[in-house]
Amino acid sequence: MGAATYYDDDGALTDPFRLARSLCLYGAAHAGVAAVDRVFPDFRNADALRSEAEAAVRDGFTAKLAIHPGQVAVINEVFTPSPEVIARAQAIVAAFAAAPGAGVVGFEGEMLDLPHLAKAKALLERAVDPPVS
């Protein structure tokens, strides 16, 4: 594309690269495959890598590419579900199991539907068999 940089003055991805990242996420979701976030090229900046990886988890990515072995520990830490996140996913699966055939359940003050169940099951599957970085 001939871009001089991926980032704007505030350090955020510029629009063309934000669009490409979003299309990758949507395409992976549609295809039912893991959504893998892009590499973070500043391999010596662990804090910025952590921030970008946390944003990727927030947005729905399930993995992130590493460009340097020094990045693997941070990426694995951020993308490995915490015990609290695993417990919540287990509780969501249990809530649906307690209401066979229900398309919606009440859970901790929220109404959850089948996409929430699918997300919880996928998270539990990744927690048991995490991808290799």
Q: What's the CATH number where 18 sits?
A: 3.20.20.60
In sign, the C-alpha dihedral spanning 16, 69, 33, 83 is negative
| Cα separation, 5 vs 94, whole angstroms | 47
Q: Tokens representing 113?
A: 């539907």
Residues 5 and 27 in one domain: yes
Residues 35 and 93 in one domain: no
Residues 99 and 71 in one domain: no
Amino acid at 106: G
Residue where one domain finishes, among candidates 79, 99, 125: 79
Instruction: Please give the pLDDT value at position 5.
Output: 87
pTM: 0.80
* Number of domains the chain is built from: 2
Burial class (CB in 10 A: 0-12, 13-18, 19+), 131: exposed
Stretch 22-37: mean pLDDT, rounded? 94
Q: Is the pLDDT of residue 130 over 60?
A: no
Residues 49 and 108 in one domain: no
Residues 56 and 102 in one domain: no
Residues 68 and 132 in one domain: no
Residues 51 and 110 in one domain: no
Residues 50 and 108 in one domain: no
List residues with catalytic annotation.
Answer: 113
Domain containing residue 123: 81-133
Q: Is the pLDDT of residue 100 over 90?
A: yes
Instruction: Please give the pLDDT value at position 84.
Output: 95
Percent of the chain whose predicted confidence (pLDDT) is above 70? 96
Residues 68 and 94 in one domain: no
Range from 40-44, 91-95, 108-112, 125-129 carrying the lowest mean pLDDT: 125-129
Residues 75 and 91 in one domain: no
| Cα separation, 24 vs 36, whole angstroms | 8
